[in-house]
Amino acid sequence: MEIQAFAKLNLTLDVLGKRPDGYHDLRMVMQSITLCDTLTLTPNQGQGLRVSTDLHFLPTGEKNLAAIAARRFWEALGCPAEDLDICIRKRIPVCAGMAGGSTDAAAVLRALNQRAGSPLTPAELARVGEQVGSDVPYCVLGGTALAEGRGERLTPLPALPRCWVVVCKPEFAISTPELFARIDSVRLRCRPDTDGLLSALEEGDLGGAARRMYNVFEDVLPPRQRDRVGELKNALIQAGALGANMSGTGPTAFGLFDCPEAAEEARAVLAENCRDIFLCQTV
């Protein structure tokens, strides 16, 4: 079985505070895009559960989120583990704030559920995903959604009007634990207008949604990284994007376009100084 694992973007991301359990309460609007990894699931003969990827530095075997997701699925059904090879062809950049590992895990859950005759509803499958990672429940369901709590409390939203997305991953990675530690020690200057963005979605107003995008983690990036993300966002706006934002804890920047020609032109311009750049659509 072959299945696609779609990347996610954060149209908004707000951190409301730290919880007694050590996690943070989040409020964010998530969106799936056509940038995706491809997973192939193949039964094997007595070799157990094996995971392979086309990137040598990624964990394989039991440490990969895809393997953890498979184990959690079989446990949820009360079934013994299967002998299965999971091959992941990566296209979503690693450590980019686009849920690359989480969406692979979610794709495994969807695939195994389909192979088993869909014994779990999408909502039940998302709850299994909670045991794998905070972004996995959203990645199981996809589309446009409001995510709260650690990210596991999901409210489906009216779809973002069809648009084109230029995605730019800078040449560095960001430490998610480091950014969460920083955000606990600063007073945030800006917060996203999440309610305004929700209203724009209700009205089918792409421009209104794009203008309200914001991510509080931009405020706590180290200075050089913050400048680079800001540079990419400004370049996207100058190239005609209706709005631009950073996804997750970064460092990926993206812009929304209502015209494919403008989006392609922006991609070509930004490709001159950004290696990982993609032209996508919303899902």
- Catalytic (active-site) positions: 8, 135
**Nearest-5° Cα angle at 129, 52 to 10:** 90
- Interatomic CA distance for residues 145 and 163, integer angstroms: 16
Bridge-partner residues for 276, per DSSP?
A: 169
First to last CA, the chain: 21
Bridge-partner residues for 49, per DSSP?
A: 84
137 upstream amide cis, omega within 30 of 0: no
Residue environment code for 166-201, b if the CB has 16+ CB neighbours within 10 A, otherwise e: bbbbbeeebeeeebbeebeeeeeeeebbbeebbebb
- Contact predicate 156/143, CB 8 Å: yes
Token output for 277: 């750049």
